[in-house]
Amino acid sequence: MLNDRVAVITGAGGGIGAAIATRFAEEKAIVIIADVIIDAAEALAEGIRSNGGRAEAVKVNVTNKTQVDEIVSGIVKKYDRLDILINNAGITRDMLGMKMKEDDWDMVINVNLKGTWLPSQAVMRPMRKNKWGRIVNTASIAALGNVGQVNYSASKGGVISLTRTLALELARSGITVNCIAPGAIITPMLEEVAEEKRKEYLEAIPVRRFGTPEDIANLHVFLCSEGASYITGQTIFIDGGLSVGV
């Protein structure tokens, strides 16, 4: 489905990003695993290659425009194109709004929102040149509001608005821009939540299970395929129905 497409996935050293990279490799894409933790990225790339896939790892801080631009330029020079960008990198620094430190606000907005904008801006010209491109951003059910995550919720709400605007700007260039908003997904981040709180989450989910990284990766594959060429500007919640009742 993604045969020979060159795909950059940020924050792909672990969790959902690693699942996306693995699925893309299974679909015969050329996968660029971009992460600030290069050891994790290289380990994943090696694992993909050992299974017959094509992957390479690059170290990048998605908030650093110079780094982002240089990496995108290098990829385009090597492969003569860049087809897919998955903006997956993100962080949390949770605290009630009244007690939140300015540094924690700035850091989350910087990584989650600016760190989506800079890679998106960097890939626009090479995608427009080839008249084809797929950008998929990462929001969260927290964009609808979540106690203790005022910075995270604001950043993900911003990602949704960014997605809608870029979709309009790039629609005539053969580039689609969409957004996936996960709910409670089984990742190290969820595992850090207290057991009692996880039980509360589970009881609120209509399908009565947590999502898996593969649930998220499967939709990424479709949105980046030819079959999704008429879908743009959309935010799709993958949350077992949780957002329906919000």
Beta strand ranges found along the chain (DSSP E): 6-10, 30-35, 54-59, 84-87, 133-138, 175-182, 235-238
Phi-psi region of 27 (alpha: psi -120 to 50; beta: other; left: phi over 0): alpha
Q: Does residue 152 have an active-site annotation?
A: yes
3-state helix, strand, coil in the chain (%, to 5): 50, 15, 30
d(CA 212, CA 85): 21
d(CA 146, CA 203): 17
Active-site residue, selected from the candidate residues 79, 152, 201, 230: 152
CA–CA separation, 98 and 226 (whole Å): 46
The token duo for 227 is 């079959």
Chain mean position to CA 74: 21
- Reference 219, options 164, 160, 154, 137; nearest CA is 137
What are the residue numbers of the active site?
Answer: 152
